[in-house]
Amino acid sequence: MDFHHSRPIKKTRREHRCTWCCEVIPAGSAAFAHFGVFDGDPYNGHTHGECEAAMRHPAVQDWLADEGYIPGDGVRGRVDDRRWKLPQFNPDGTRTEEPL
């Protein structure tokens, strides 16, 4: 049985690597913790708040459902990386240009 759970963390106790962008999340920082089971294998990880928001973008969710996810594929807090073949967005959610 596959499942996924994520929860916000106000302050991490130690340093982690973001599974979206692979940058360091320093100890004492806000983050999201993820854990679950995929294809029978357990997993866990952490993301920056802005990376969590990027992962939850509807276009990214559609792409992930079709293509899958490899940790480190994203750019910190962004959904406009050319690998995703998505429209580019500013941090406030407005588009910066036409879809790629």
Neighbours of 46 (CB within 10 A): 22
The whole-number pLDDT of residue 91 equals 56
User: pLDDT-derived band of residue 100, with 50, 70 and 90 as boundaries?
Assistant: very low
pLDDT tens sequence across 33-42: 999 888 888 9
Per-residue buried b or exposed e for 52-86, using 16+ beta carbons within 10 Å of the residue's own CB: bbbbebeebeebeeeeeeeeebbbebbbbbeebeb
SS3 90: coil
Considering the entire predicted model, what is its pTM?
Answer: 0.68
pLDDT tens sequence across 20-64: 888 999 999 999 999 988 888 898 999 998 888 888 877 777 767
Domains of the chain: 3-84 (3.30.1740)
Secondary structure element (H or E) that encloses residue 51, with its range: helix 49-55
Q: What is the dihedral of CA 67, 73, 77, 80, to 10 degrees?
A: -60
User: pLDDT-derived band of residue 88, with 50, 70 and 90 as boundaries?
Assistant: low
